[in-house]
Amino acid sequence: MDCVFCRIVAGEIPSDILYQDDEIVAFRDINPQAPVHVLVIPTEHIASLSDVTGEQSGLLGRMAAVANRLAKSEGIAEKGYRIAVNCGDQGGQLVPHLHIHLLGGRQLSGRLG
């Protein structure tokens, strides 16, 4: 499949991986929007948050837990950080493989859009 994040999971595209298990991979964003910008993704190809089923809701919780742990290890947990999921075209999603953005290390804008 021609999916950039599936290729990262497969090790075909190099990335700065911070966490990896059978179900979840986290790596630094190639074009960081903040001093800390990490992407947390499922190893399974799920195109978008809108494709997550009830049975997969546990996966989202575990992805959030990985993001929270990385916020601690990256040293941004105390001052605060942002978790964002872009969904679909107008939601600003460019890569069609579900991902959580973990952003921090500077004062983030209060506006979301």
* In contact, 62 and 100? CB cutoff 8 Å: no
> Which CB, 49 or 77, lies closer to ligand 5GP?
49
- Asked if 37 is an active-site residue, the reply is no
Sign, Cα dihedral of 30, 32, 36, 40: negative
The number of beta carbons lying within 10 Å of the beta carbon of residue 67 is 20
6 scored as a contact of ligand 5GP (CB under 6 A)? no
Closest CA to 64 of 88, 38, 90: 38
Residue 26 to residue 42: CA distance in whole angstroms: 9
* 10: contact with ligand 5GP by CB under 6 A: no
Nearer to Zn ion, 5 or 81 (CB): 5
Please identify, among the stretches 23-31, 47-55, 56-64, 72-80, the one whose residues bind ligand 5GP according to the rule CB under 6 A.
Answer: 23-31
Binding residue for ligand 5GP, selected from 10, 17, 20, 30, defined by CB under 6 A = 30
Alpha carbon distance 63, 57 (integer Å): 10
Contact set for ligand 5GP, span 85-104 (CB under 6 A): 86, 92-95
Q: Which residues are near ligand 5GP by CB under 6 A? A: 4, 13, 15, 27-31, 39, 86, 92-95
Please list the active-site residues.
Answer: 99
